[in-house]
Structure 1
């Protein structure tokens, strides 16, 4: 499979290593220094694009690929206000667009556990729930896409939480996401329910980027014969 990498930072390099180990070919590496080179990868040169760039570049990268018939696997966060436009374009062009806030299989199992726990906790409003996420200092967006997914899934079940906020304090109806940036932490997410008598916590700790990168490559292998707007729910079925 011929893979175009959109974004060639630490994640891009890890994806490259895993893709090559699985027998794939990297046909191009696009970053902020060579964005004009993207025009080279139309007309069948790339079977799929894996997009882990920066929030200010993601929309244009993805739009270009969809308009030119290149399936896209995207994991960039911080640009999601424009995601509905990309999804509409994908449908219009009969293209392929796969987005996940996190490609780690472990994190996606954690998402399912979070949904189940929120369903169990929905009638026990003596518990307050909040989220803490810790990432490396180079991560530019906050909160993380993973934390937002966790928060949105909690809000679907717990009606006394109306919205999430990225602040250390808020009102009772606010679901607080506390974002910390420390050293080289790949990603740690904790969901905590607290009451006067006890606490309940679930936590996912990533030890490296490899889990995220391998998941992205597995998805890229999976989507090459598929169309439409796809998510990890489709992939894990």
Structure 2
């Protein structure tokens, strides 16, 4: 495939290496300083840009009949607009807060545990995420996905950044430490014990491999999909 990289930071460069190893061609490398480009030279686009330009990147792809995979977080207030445009244009679109196979398994475990803990009100739920200091949004998109998975299966109503005194809310602590690719943990704590699940990424390779795999899966398809579709987890 001819791939356009929308965002050419550390993730973009890692995706480039893996895509080339898998026999693909990188035809565009776009960052926030790029003036103009023709997205139509690409068969598919992979967007790991920044929150302020991700939506424009995605709509440009869909308006030009180029399927797009996006892993940029922090722009989801416009996610519905992107999916409606995709359907209108008969395009192909996948958004994921995290493309790692391990993280997507972790998402499933998180929801399963939430179902089991739903009626055990003695346990208080909390979350923590740690990322590198260059990550622009907090909490991470992965943490939000985890929180939403819990909300879907419990009496929790929403998540909040840092501490909360409300039983209806899930507190998320977000830490920024140099050179940490991503660590996420969920804790259920009572007065007598705690149950913790945790995912720790050692490198960015897992995210990049998943994004390239998702692009390969999406190529030639129409519709709005998630990593559950890609991995057959539905």
TM-score normalised by the chain length of structure 1: 0.96
1:157 match: secondary structure = coil
2:223 is matched with which residue: 228, 231, 236? 228
Question: What is the rounded CA distance, in whole Å, between the counterparts of 1:79 and 1:27 in structure 2?
Answer: 25
For 2:74, the equivalent position in structure 1 comes to 78
Change (3 A) 1:35 1:125: farther
For 1:121, the equivalent position in structure 2 comes to 117
For 2:11, the equivalent position in structure 1 comes to 11
1:5 match: secondary structure = strand
For 2:143, the equivalent position in structure 1 comes to 147
2:55 is matched with which residue: 59, 63, 75? 59
Q: Deviations over 1:73-95 (max 9, x none)?
A: 00000000000000000000000
For 2:209, the equivalent position in structure 1 comes to 214
Number of aligned positions between the proteins = 232
Question: What is the rounded CA distance, in whole Å, between the counterparts of 1:146 and 1:89 in structure 2?
Answer: 24
1:178 is matched with which residue: 155, 173, 177? 173
Task: Tell whether 2:48 aligns with 1:32.
Answer: no
Question: What is the rounded CA distance, in whole Å, between the counterparts of 2:127 and 2:23 in structure 1?
Answer: 39
For 1:104, the equivalent position in structure 2 comes to 100
Question: What is the rounded CA distance, in whole Å, between the counterparts of 1:48 and 1:16 in structure 2?
Answer: 13
For 1:164, the equivalent position in structure 2 comes to 159
Please list every run of 5 or more consecutive structure 2 residues that lacks an aligned counterpart in the other structure.
none
Question: What is the rounded CA distance, in whole Å, between the counterparts of 2:141 and 2:68 in structure 1?
Answer: 18
Question: What is the rounded CA distance, in whole Å, between the counterparts of 1:189 and 1:167 in structure 2?
Answer: 14
Change (3 A) 1:35 1:177: farther
TM-score normalised by the chain length of structure 2: 0.98
Shift of 1:163: 0.7
1:216 match: secondary structure = helix
Shift of 1:98: 0.5
Runs in 1 of length 4+ with deviation above 4 angstroms? Answer: none
2:39 is matched with which residue: 38, 41, 51? 41
Shift of 1:170: 3.5
Q: Deviations over 1:153-188 (max 9, x none)?
A: 1011111x1110012333121100110001110000
CA-based RMSD of the aligned residues comes to 0.7
1:124 match: secondary structure = coil
Please list every run of 5 or more consecutive structure 1 residues that lacks an aligned counterpart in the other structure.
none
Q: Deviations over 1:45-70 (max 9, x none)?
A: 21100000000010000000000000
